Amino acid sequence: MPLKTLFRKRQAPAVDRKQVLRLYPLRNPTVRYEEREDDTCLLIVPVKPRGVFRWLSRIFKLPSEHRIELDETGSTVWRLCDGEHTVEAIVRHLVQTYRLERREAEYSLFAFLNTLSQRGFIAYLKKRR
């Protein structure tokens, strides 16, 4: 087997847009968040040091959590990722609230949810609980 086939990045399977719109995003319970006065959210993500950082955390005081500040739109989406709203419902909410074109709202939302999912901040449910 050639080496380049061993080190080739695997592509994620293509997901149909309609399937994504029917999913229910759900926040990871280990990620806490605080509501701020300006209607934004502050995500508090616990950090578990690994490898060399685990050893260094015994010597130096390394942070035990990351704090991520979301803007108004990101905070709105975060609050709606409760397992009760479909991605479709979130898109409709963004279109109505921020007066966006549907395509623009979908594209931005898919990118944001993809980032949250890759970092382990949310997961998707097929059906509501």
What residue numbers bound the domain in which 48 lies? 16-124
pLDDT tens sequence for the chain (129 residues): 555 555 566 666 667 889 999 999 999 999 999 999 999 999 999 987 777 766 676 777 767 789 999 999 999 999 999 999 999 999 999 999 999 999 999 999 999 999 999 999 999 999 855
Contact 116, 31 (CB under 8 A): no
Number of domains in the chain: 1
> Is residue 8 assigned to a domain?
no
Whose structure tokens read 């087997």? 1
Its pTM surpasses 0.75: yes
> Is residue 101 assigned to a domain?
yes
> Is residue 6 assigned to a domain?
no
Tokens representing 1 are 């087997």
Contact 26, 80 (CB under 8 A): no
CATH number of the domain that residue 119 is part of = 3.90.930.60
Q: In 10 A of CB 35, how many CB atoms?
A: 11
Q: Which amino acid is at 111?
A: A
Output DSSP code: residue 7: S
